[in-house]
Structure 1
Amino acid sequence: MTSEEKPLDAAIRGLARGGALAGAVEVRRPGSWLELDERIRSGYTWRGMGRPTHPWLADRVRPTVLRALLGCPTPSEAELALALCDGDGRIRAAALPHAAGRPAVLPLVAVRTADWAAPVRDEAHAVLAGALSGADAGTLAVTAPVILRLRSRVRGGTATALLREVLRAAPPATVAALLLNRDRATRRFALDVGVERGLLTPAELAGLAAYDTDVVVRDRAASAALAAGFPDETLPVLLAARSGTVRSAGVTALRKAGRAAEAEPFLYDRSALVRACARWVLRQDGRDPLPLYRAACTGPASVPGRAPLGLAECGDRNADLPVLWELTGHAHPLVRSSAVAGLRVLEVADHHRLLALLDDPAPGVVREAARALLPWADRLPEGELVRRTGPGRPVSVRVRALRLLRAHGSAAYEETARRLARDPDPELRTRFRRTLGIGEAVPRPAVARSRLWRT
């Protein structure tokens, strides 16, 4: 590959020289197949090699079995791939029969089902239908993501309908294998089919909801698990999930399961949605969550980390504001940051006291203090912000102070930002340049105008 040649162009030239198809295409990435097809059909220049002539297509009028008996040449995977992506529709159509029984090129056959030429689409649909009906899990793992990627095309729905029909009759193990595919669209599709066929137990659905990385899969699996009932092994998995939406579904289901009292610990969950659902469940059970929050924040026992924030979300400003201010001096950093976040929820305007919280040793407290100060940035003393960007301050303080200085609309922002961009700490220097937009124009102080408009 020359220094000016793109990797995809080099891969195409490698195919033309007889290279392996797997070396030119990332077979597990559906976009790689589409890029290969688009690049060849969009007028790829062969630069001294000459366009492939596909001499093996001369015997295309003979059946595949007869060609084999007569010793006619069989195209390699690379040759077949180039023909299936050729800019001439007649060549694409003639190459499709050769793809029967060649699972390595089946994703390109799927691409041809969305071809603009009707004869090519019809032939590709026939070949794909025959191949998918007996395809193993490995072939489907590569082909299904390509098929689902075609849905956005004008003629791309036929292959998706064919895939759904095949999976409705496929062995359960085949559908289960697609639930582990790294392509999230494939996992969503397999989950829909699996739920439709009743292949997944409530415990398996709860496991998908708790551990899958895709939010859509998690939500659909959680809904399906709860729709199947409330066996003992389902709710604990949902309630322990990392996703807040999944935990909220489990907390909400506690009421229908007759276990509303178990929602109380979730009043202090890290997710605002889970806390809101826990309050709703307790209210439906005839219990007011506000006294529970107040007891947690003022009792002699240790304060739950996010109890102050929950108190602010449902409490009374006049009654609970002193408690939140007191908790900003708590020994536990999480309690302090939660209390500051509660002050922000209550829209506390005492920016002088909030400014002092920027000096807290815990980065989480500094972050929440900066968020609470942001609406009042234009009222903050410019010198106090500049001072907090100086050497010797923690990184969290310097970063947040500069952001507030920028929101302030201060003329000192550009000079301070340039100074920090030359900081001796290379990590800090890179962080400022990447995240703070060094060199951009100083924004106009629109904070006060937006607040006046709301008033």
Structure 2
Amino acid sequence: MRELAQDLLRAALDVGSALELAPLILRVGHRGRGAVGLDLLGRTLRRASRGQLAVLFSAPDRTVRRFAYRLAVEGRLLPPAELARVAAQDQDTVVQDLCATAALAACADLAARGDAEAYESVLAPLLSARNPRTRSAGVTALRRAGHSQQAERFLGDRSGVVRACARYVVRQRGDDPVAWYRERCMAWEDTELPPGAVIGLAECGTRADAALLLSLLMHPVTGVRARAVAGLRALDCGDMERLRPLLDDAAAAVVRETAVSLLSHAKELPADWLLERTDRERPRHVRVGAFRLLDARGGIVALRAAVGLLEDPDVKFRAWAAQSVQRWHPSPDGRRGDPEVGELLDRCRHLFSDYVLRRRKWEAGVGS
């Protein structure tokens, strides 16, 4: 029966029917013995023209689009500029990588022929792509195109992989990206400072650059302040006393980066100061950052904060608090037999089975 089905499919498939049946064949092709159908579909559609395959390029199913673009790349049915446009606009990362790689491979031929205009038509869509991987491919290609100087404007890109490719191109040209970053960060009052330039300085700078990043903690732009905090963390130069005030920052991104940077200092932060910032009157992002630090601190302070938030109006806060209580264990250096621990655990007994509750109390040295 299997051989008969394969013979019938082989007889029925031509380019027209293959285009219609491609979604179905691709869907079942990865099941047991479905490879025959995939192979037959591929051999049939390799005879299709670019115009015929175009029907599959816009298919809503990404598996179909991937299959169609692979065939188009293998058959060299699309010009490099069209491949670059697809890499910049398609929403699927596999299609983006496939088309960007093919476009850049074709660029080598364009460069060998000295076709600068065609080369530019490929680079422009890649460099303006929203996807960082596609954008980074375009930045790397700038060197081969003889436009290494254009890589400088990508040193402050929002994506780390694009910044890394830009630094490579700039270094190959003989320039120093660190100097570029320092110059922009020092002149931030006179020129617009992209947040990517701040974290870029931390990525390739030294601990001596921490002073420059510290000066940016009061920058009026949210992204710059957040990247300065992240940069200090990357350089392992986070100053707890300088970072503490940023836990009250008006921007959620800054508070989020600050909380991450202060996690290693959670036990050193004043417990009352953190608890105060979990009050309902505080901005939500401040409460989130403070509770994250309290949870990392552990001990009775973390349990006290979590139990206090179990009746919070915010549904997510209640869920985080419940999870924190269920994960809680007494600190090895905590005082055993503290009656407050028993009272707090009793207030949230609904979160434990009887056995687990008794176990927690036994670990803390309270209860019978």
1:407–1:445 Cα contact (<8 Å) kept: no
- Please report how far the alpha carbon of residue 360 of structure 1 lies from its aligned counterpart in structure 2 after TM superposition: 0.8
User: Structure 2 matches for 1:359-378, cutoff 5 A?
Assistant: 359-378=248-267
| 1:239 equivalent in structure 2 | 127
Contact 2:295 2:324 in 1 (8 A): no
Are the structure 2 counterparts of residues 170 and 389 from structure 1 closer, same or farther at C-alpha, using a change threshold of 3 Å?
Answer: same
Sequence identity (%): 44
Which residue of structure 1 aligns with residue 233 of structure 2?
A: 344
Q: 2:211 aligns with which of 313, 317, 322?
A: 322
Change (3 A) 1:431 1:387: closer
> Is 2:188 the counterpart of 1:310?
no
1:382 CA drift (Å): 2.6
Letter in 2 for 1:260: S
Q: Is the 8 A contact 2:18 2:41 kept in 1?
A: no
Verify the 8 A CA contact 2:309 2:317 in the aligned structure 1: no
Q: Hey, what's the Cα distance between the residues in 2 that align with 1:436 and 1:200?
A: 56
**CA distance in 2: counterparts of 1:445 and 1:346, whole angstroms:** 30
> CA–CA distance in 1 between the matches of 2:69 and 2:61?
12
Aligned-pair CA distance for 1:231: 2.1
CA offsets, 1:168-221, max 9 Å, x none? Answer: 012323322222222222222211110011111112211221121221111111
With over 3 angstroms needed to count, the CA separation of the structure-2 counterparts of 1:327 and 1:163, relative to structure 1, is same
Q: Which residue of 138, 158, 162 corresponds with 1:250?
A: 138
Is the Cα contact below 8 Å between 2:84 and 2:100 reproduced in 1?
A: yes
CA separation in 2, counterparts of 1:422 and 1:137?
60
Question: Which residue matches 1:440?
Answer: 326
SS of structure 1 residue aligned to 2:218: coil
Root mean square deviation of aligned Cα: 2.3
Rate the CA distance shift 1:323–1:245 in 2: closer, same or farther, 3 A. same
2-side partners of 1:416 and 1:127: how far apart? 69
CA distance 1:435–1:260, shift in 2 (3 Å) = farther
User: How far off is 1:237 after superposition?
Assistant: 0.7
Matches of 2:263 and 2:25 in 1, distance apart?
47
In the alignment, the residues of structure 2 paired with residue 209 and residue 444 of structure 1 have an alpha-carbon distance, to the nearest angstrom, of: 53
In the alignment, the residues of structure 2 paired with residue 288 and residue 298 of structure 1 have an alpha-carbon distance, to the nearest angstrom, of 16
Identify if the C-alpha distance between structure 1 residues 288 and 134 changes in structure 2 by more than 3 Å, giving closer, same or farther: closer
Counterparts of 1:435 and 1:238, CA distance in 2: 45
Kindly indicate whether the alpha-carbon contact (under 8 Å) linking 1:264 and 1:282 is maintained by their aligned counterparts in 2.
yes
Alpha-carbon contact 1:327-1:336 (below 8 Å) kept:
yes
Cα 1:275/1:162, change in 2 over 3 Å: same
Aligned to 1:206: 84
Aligned to 2:39: 161
How many equivalent residue pairs?
A: 320
Between 267-276 and 134-143, report the one with greater CA deviation: 134-143
Shift of 1:372: 1.5
Give the one of 382, 390, 396 matched to 2:285.
396
Aligned: 1:193 with 2:77: no
Match of 2:97 in 1: 219
**Residue aligning to 2:348:** none
Distance 1:317 1:389 in 2: 34
Q: Does 1:429 align with 2:315?
A: yes
Partner SS, residue 143 of structure 1? helix
Aligned-residue offset at 1:373: 1.8
Deviations 1:392-420 (A, max 9, x none): 21111111221222222233334433443
Give the conservation status (yes or no) of the 8 Å contact 2:199–2:228: yes
**Residue 410 of structure 1 pairs with residue 270 of structure 2:** no
User: Which residue is equivalent to 2:176?
Assistant: 288
Q: Which residue of 247, 254, 259 maps to 1:358?
A: 247
Q: In 1, are the aligned partners of 2:178 and 2:201 still within 8 Å (CA)?
A: yes
Separation of aligned partners in 1, 2:105 and 2:331: 51
- Are the equivalent residues in 1 in contact too, given 2:87–2:96 (CA < 8 A)? yes
Q: Which stretch shifts more, 232-241 or 380-389?
A: 380-389
Report the CA distance between 1:442 and its aligned residue.
2.0
Structure 2 Cα separation of the partners of residues 400 and 145 of structure 1: 47
- Partners of 2:81 and 2:103 within 8 A in 1: yes
1:259 match: 147
Structure 2 vs 1, CA of residues 287 and 384 (structure 1 numbering), >3 Å: closer, same or farther?
Answer: same
TM-score, structure 2 normalization = 0.80
Q: Which has the larger radius of gyration?
A: 1
Distance 1:437 1:139, change over 3 A: farther
Whole-angstrom distance in 1 between the partners of 2:284 and 2:100: 40
- Give the structure 2 partner of residue 25 of structure 1: none
Partner amino acid, structure 1, of 2:236: E
Q: CA 1:155–1:142 in 2, change beyond 3 Å: closer, same or farther?
A: closer
5+ residue gaps in structure 2?
A: 108-117, 333-368
